[in-house]
Amino acid sequence: MKVKLLFFAALREQLGRPTEEVELPASVTTVGALRDHLRARGGEWERVFAPNRPVRAAVNQDMMQAEARIKAGDEVAFFPPVTGG
Amino acid sequence: MKVAVQREDFDLGAEVRAISRDAKVGAVASFVGLVREVRMTLEHYPGMTEREIGKIVDEAAKRWQVMDCTVIHRYGELAPNEQIVLVAVASAHRGDAFAACEFIMDYLKTRAPFWKKEHRAGGATWVESRAADDEAAERWKRGER
């Protein structure tokens, strides 16, 4: 299935892209599995999505935990803990 | 209720007057956050930002009497002393106005998708999130406020 990825702030800079359309294998059905899938790309991806790195995720603009399901056409965003206000 | 995410500055007086017109309003509490010392760039997640702030305002309106409310958050390049954020709450009495204003601000800091990048002489760095901000929001959940 195909999903749209968005990256913000330090993640966007490290990965060198604000957005990407990606075709996922059938085994990737949750936010946590997607994170593992991206980490397996190696290089900067491995550093950005390292298990000890505090990365937040949103699916269709709602904050989600690792076990949240993802489906075709979803907008999945990854970003650091927020620092507004 | 008004939620705005914008580059432009805002006028505190005009925003307070705009939510004070109802004769039943007896109190308006407002908070303005400013850029402290260092020039910065604020990035946000368009769409999600407005939604998250809207959810926080709805939650405040369930807990306290909120007759009207305005939240404005700026993004882009901001210089020291510029205004970043405004939260203004109108209510019949000050207790509700103060509490709702502080609640919205505490949750905005931990949930609204904004990121600050500071520009110092040595280079630009992303601001790290603060445990104290998470703690401020958690206190409301535990019923300590």
pLDDT of residue A26: 93
Q: How far apart are CA A44 and CA A17, in angstroms?
A: 12
Per residue in B19-43, pLDDT tens?
A: 999 999 999 999 999 999 999 999 9
Pick from B43, B47, B105: which is nearest to A8 by CB?
A: B43
- Mean model confidence pLDDT for chain A: 96
- A35: CATH: 3.10.20.30
Q: How far apart are CA B118 and CA B109, in angstroms?
A: 17
Residue A67 lies in a domain: yes
Residue A40 lies in a domain: yes
Shortest distance, CA B20 to any CA of chain A (angstroms): 24
Q: Is A55 on the interface with B (CB under 8 A)?
A: no
Q: How far apart are CA B48 and CA B60, in angstroms?
A: 18
Residue A63 lies in a domain: yes
Number of domains within chain A: 1
Residue A85 lies in a domain: no
Residue A9 lies in a domain: yes
Shortest distance, CA B87 to any CA of chain A (angstroms): 10
Residue A46 lies in a domain: yes
For CA atoms B17, B22, B26, B32, give the dihedral sign.
negative
The answer to pTM > 0.90 is yes
Q: Is the pLDDT of residue B5 over 90?
A: yes
pLDDT confidence bin for B144, thresholds 50/70/90: confident
What is the count of residue pairs from A and B with beta carbons less than 8 Å apart?
72
Residue A21 lies in a domain: yes
Q: Go through B50-59 and write b for each residue having 16 or more CB atoms within 10 A of its CB, e for each that does not.
A: bbbbeebbee
Domains, chain B: 2-141 (3.90.1170.40)
Q: Is the pLDDT of residue B74 over 90?
A: yes
Q: Which residues, 6+ apart, have CB-to-CB distance to B117 below 8 Å?
A: A9, B40, B41, B42, B43, B124, B125, B126, B127
CA-angle at A16, arms to A13 and A22, nearest 5° = 120
Domain that holds residue A46: 2-79
- Give the residue on A whose Cα is nearest the Cα of B32: A85
Query: In A, which residues are within 8 Å of B133 by CB distance?
Result: 85
Shortest distance, CA B48 to any CA of chain A (angstroms): 5
pLDDT of residue B131: 81
Residue A84 lies in a domain: no
Query: In A, which residues are within 8 Å of B112 by CB distance?
Result: 82, 84-85
- Give the residue on A whose Cα is nearest the Cα of B83: A85
Q: Is the pLDDT of residue B129 over 90?
A: no
pLDDT per residue rounded down to tens, chain A (85 residues): 999 999 999 999 999 999 999 999 999 999 999 999 999 999 999 999 998 899 999 999 999 999 999 999 999 999 999 999 9
